[in-house]
Chain A
Amino acid sequence: MSYQHTQTFNSRRQKNWSRNQNTVAFASAIKLGPVAHTVLVALMITVLGLIYLTQATKATSFDYATEKIDSQIAELNTQKNDLQIENARLTALETVKSSSVASTMTTPATTDYISQ
């Protein structure tokens, strides 16, 4: 592929859109060789790779958040279970029997029944 030098710049857009206006055609003075192309392609692949890596890391960061929440749930469940055990112990028959309320209770002298 070859490039031709010129001092006249014709704007194709203006040429097409309006009359009697100068048009400029820009031809870049920078030449890209095969090495530059290869490097550019490699850079693009790298960028794509980085984008993929970012997304993959993002998914992993969700895993850490999930793990943290799971740990909190487990901790709260353990606390809840401990409280249930404490509740069961406090309401156990032996505890109730030896409570201050039970110790002041007396046997009724007589018992009456409501007739049905």
Chain B
Amino acid sequence: MNLELQKGSRSKLLAAILLSLMTVFVVRLFYLQIIQHDYYVNTANKEQLKRLTIPAKRGVIYALDGNTPVPIVMNQTVYTVFADPQMTNDNEKIIDTIRQIAGGNARDNLQSLLEKRNSRYQILATKISRVQADKIKKLKLMGVGFQEESQRVYTEGSLASQTLGFVDFGGIGRYGVEAKLNSRLTGKDGLLQSVTDVSDVPLTIGNNNINKPAVNGDNIVLSIDRNIQSHTEQALTDGLKRTGATRGSAIVMDPQSGKVLAMANLPTYNPAKFNEVTDAASFNNNVVSAPYEPGSDMKTLTMATGIDKGVVSADSTYVNTDHIQVDDRTISNASYGQTGTISFQHAMNWSLNTGFVTVAERLGDGSSITIGARNTMYDYFYNKFHLGQITGLEVDGEVTGTIIPPTSADGNAVRYATMAFGQGMDVTMIQVASAFCSIVNGGKYYKPTVISGIIDNNGKYVTNKIVDPTATISKSTADQVRQMTQIARNSNFAGVDKPGYYVGGKTGTSQVAKNGTYATDETIATYLGYGGSEEMSRYVIMVQVSGDHKEFAGNYDAMPIFTDISNWMLNYLELQPKG
């Protein structure tokens, strides 16, 4: 037997073994990389590829300080401190630290929370600031972690709270601008899809990376002037204290643009503590969400309709007997004694219901409120003055109110006779104030707005374009009604205004319909007026006060609040008096 191997046989054997091994590797790699490709790619992606949401920042809300935007709703990063009781090893130190640094934001029962060994997550403190969180982090407490979150900060406290609304714990805007413009303020979250390491640090390796930046919410500038808002709230608070009313609302508008300069409601609340509010009615912005019968404020619009149609003028006369018959109903004045042949100016001064029912009659055949008269009144009230419909003000909760059309069975002569002096209809303060703006500005209806512009990405204040107004009445009609209200104010409340200015207005005392009938123990007091120079009105103010089972009068309870705001506005706007 020849044991000597043939020449080259070892090399051949080794080569064969290597080749075999290589074949095994190649086959295995083929199986793994080609046949099982999708499976392993998916498995790897599951472990390595992370989809991280880049949260969009909620837009900041600004108010105006004169013409300068100032932030009044901002975002602040706050932290929740939590512990894993199974990981903590020095509970005494943790408790001392949290109590010392977090203070009132720490939970009361820290000891018992940390002793829950079967739990992996216990919250020790909430809403602590970055500085506080940094102090705790430096101590490197075992088993203690932090969760970052963003919360709204209301730098002006409760100022304009019903206009602003708030953001709930789920990050959704509720009430006011926060709710109405929630989608604009929220922005759009971005997406970061990337291979990450064990610490979730995104790496640029891989072909499936996506980096879609977040689109932050709009930074909105309100037309609310914080100084006017503050004074309006103060005047309303003082007025309610003086009158004993429990509810009050006020709105200040720029009649030359339709911008809302202030909008206040009492009782109010602090949006930062919305969860502590016991009466949800405090959240409502009654300027837009509480329809009521406008009462005598409406007489300005009825007069405007009559003058514009050429059937009456301020100096036209009628015979006042303190009562007027409409179909089977007798309508009476609230104040008696101004009987005889009197002018419509006189009727305006004394707020006589009979005068404005007469205007409605003259829109018809002169002695009755015909269908033609009703159609005319409806056209002016609904189509031109936009009563009984959404104005589109950018706050949540606006309601339409009701103007019954003449085509309805209820739209009869009696209905329209009462509508002539502000009963038998439901409107909101914003509707009435916006309509009145069109009287004091010469007959142009501007869509009311509470938004003045935005702060763009470069930090520049970009103002919104004012929407073109629609025509309501002729300029001569508007000027005449404006003058009538100026005379009415001066005849009743001479000396209350700063001298040298052109200020006018109309009182309103509305009955309250409850259970289908007017309450005998409750009225709503309003005052609707304007101020500025004879050439141009610079502001319109509407005030309303009320309370359950309480009677209030426009001239005693609402008018002084108007005067307070009006005189302050004349100073604030730096208007020079004449004479």
Q: Which of B72-80, B182-190, B285-293, B441-449 contacts A (4 or more CB under 8 A)?
A: B72-80
Please name all residues of chain A whose beta carbon is closer than 8 Å to the beta carbon of B18 when the two chains form the complex: 35, 38
State whether the Cβ of B70 lies closer than 8 Å to any Cβ in chain A. Answer: yes
Complex: how many Å from CA A84 to CA B131?
15
Q: Residue A93 contacts which of B11, B14, B129, B226 (CB distance < 8 angstroms)?
A: B226
Please name all residues of chain B whose beta carbon is closer than 8 Å to the beta carbon of A84 when the two chains form the complex: 71, 74
Q: Residue B155 contacts which of A35, A38, A60, A85 (CB distance < 8 angstroms)?
A: A85
State whether the Cβ of B577 lies closer than 8 Å to any Cβ in chain A. Answer: yes
Are the C-beta atoms of B11 and A81 separated by less than 8 Å?
no
Please name all residues of chain B whose beta carbon is closer than 8 Å to the beta carbon of A35 when the two chains form the complex: 11, 14-15, 18
B73 and chain A: residue at smallest CB distance: A88
Q: Which of A5-13, A14-22, A44-52, A62-70 contacts B (4 or more CB under 8 A)?
A: A62-70
Q: Residue B76 contacts which of A60, A62, A67, A82 (CB distance < 8 angstroms)?
A: A82
Please name all residues of chain A whose beta carbon is closer than 8 Å to the beta carbon of B131 when the two chains form the complex: 82
State whether the Cβ of A116 lies closer than 8 Å to any Cβ in chain B. Answer: yes
Are the C-beta atoms of B202 and A93 separated by less than 8 Å?
no
Please name all residues of chain B whose beta carbon is closer than 8 Å to the beta carbon of A88 when the two chains form the complex: 70-72, 74, 155
* CB under 8 Å from chain A, chain B span 130-151: 130-131
Are the C-beta atoms of B129 and A82 separated by less than 8 Å?
yes
State whether the Cβ of A59 lies closer than 8 Å to any Cβ in chain B. Answer: yes
Please name all residues of chain B whose beta carbon is closer than 8 Å to the beta carbon of A38 when the two chains form the complex: 18
* CB under 8 Å from chain A, chain B span 181-215: 201-205
State whether the Cβ of B159 lies closer than 8 Å to any Cβ in chain A. Answer: yes
Are the C-beta atoms of A91 and B205 separated by less than 8 Å?
no
Instruction: Given A93-B227, A94-B156, A94-B157, verify A78-B202 contact (CB < 8 Å).
Output: no
Please name all residues of chain B whose beta carbon is closer than 8 Å to the beta carbon of A34 when the two chains form the complex: 11, 15
Please name all residues of chain B whose beta carbon is closer than 8 Å to the beta carbon of A82 when the two chains form the complex: 76-77, 129-131
Q: Residue B74 contacts which of A56, A85, A94 (CB distance < 8 angstroms)?
A: A85
Are the C-beta atoms of B576 and A116 separated by less than 8 Å?
yes
Which of A34, A92, A93, A113 gathers most chain B CB within 10 Å? A93
Please name all residues of chain A whose beta carbon is closer than 8 Å to the beta carbon of B202 when the two chains form the complex: 63, 67
Are the C-beta atoms of B201 and A78 separated by less than 8 Å?
no
Are the C-beta atoms of B14 and A92 separated by less than 8 Å?
no
Are the C-beta atoms of A63 and B74 separated by less than 8 Å?
no
A74 nearest CB across to chain B (Å): 9
A113 and chain B: residue at smallest CB distance: B576
A116 and chain B: residue at smallest CB distance: B576
Are the C-beta atoms of B156 and A92 separated by less than 8 Å?
yes
Please name all residues of chain A whose beta carbon is closer than 8 Å to the beta carbon of B130 when the two chains form the complex: 78-79, 82
State whether the Cβ of B455 lies closer than 8 Å to any Cβ in chain A. Answer: no
Please name all residues of chain B whose beta carbon is closer than 8 Å to the beta carbon of A78 when the two chains form the complex: 77, 130
Q: Residue A59 contacts which of B75, B156, B204 (CB distance < 8 angstroms)?
A: B204
A109 nearest CB across to chain B (Å): 15
Please name all residues of chain A whose beta carbon is closer than 8 Å to the beta carbon of B157 when the two chains form the complex: 92, 94
* CB under 8 Å from chain A, chain B span 2-27: 11, 14-15, 18
Q: Residue A64 contacts which of B70, B153, B201 (CB distance < 8 angstroms)?
A: B201
B339 nearest CB across to chain A (Å): 44
Please name all residues of chain A whose beta carbon is closer than 8 Å to the beta carbon of B76 when the two chains form the complex: 81-82, 85
Q: Residue B205 contacts which of A60, A79, A93 (CB distance < 8 angstroms)?
A: A60
Complex: how many Å from CA A62 to CA B129?
32
Complex: how many Å from CA A33 to CA B18?
14
* CB under 8 Å from chain A, chain B span 68-109: 70-72, 74-77
Are the C-beta atoms of A93 and B156 separated by less than 8 Å?
yes
Complex: how many Å from CA A2 to CA B74?
86
State whether the Cβ of B402 lies closer than 8 Å to any Cβ in chain A. Answer: no
Complex: how many Å from CA A24 to CA B140?
75
A33 nearest CB across to chain B (Å): 6
A111 nearest CB across to chain B (Å): 8
Give me the interface of A with B, judged by CB distance under 8 Å: 33-35, 38, 56, 59-60, 62-64, 67, 78-79, 81-82, 84-85, 88-89, 91-94, 113, 116
Give me the interface of B with A, judged by CB distance under 8 Å: 11, 14-15, 18, 70-72, 74-77, 129-131, 153, 155-157, 159, 201-205, 226-227, 230, 576-577
10 residue pairs, one from A and one from B, having the closest CB atoms: A88-B155, A63-B203, A67-B201, A113-B576, A92-B155, A93-B230, A88-B71, A92-B156, A78-B77, A89-B155
A sample of 29 inter-chain contacts (CB < 8 A) reads A33-B11, A34-B15, A35-B14, A56-B205, A59-B204, A59-B205, A60-B204, A62-B204, A63-B201, A63-B202, A63-B204, A78-B130, A81-B74, A81-B76, A81-B77, A82-B76, A82-B130, A82-B131, A84-B71, A85-B74, A85-B76, A85-B153, A88-B70, A88-B74, A91-B70, A93-B159, A93-B226, A93-B227, A93-B230
Beyond A67-B202, A92-B156, 16 additional contacts (C-beta under 8 Å) are A38-B18, A56-B205, A59-B205, A60-B204, A63-B202, A79-B130, A81-B76, A82-B76, A82-B131, A85-B76, A88-B70, A88-B155, A92-B157, A93-B159, A93-B226, A93-B227
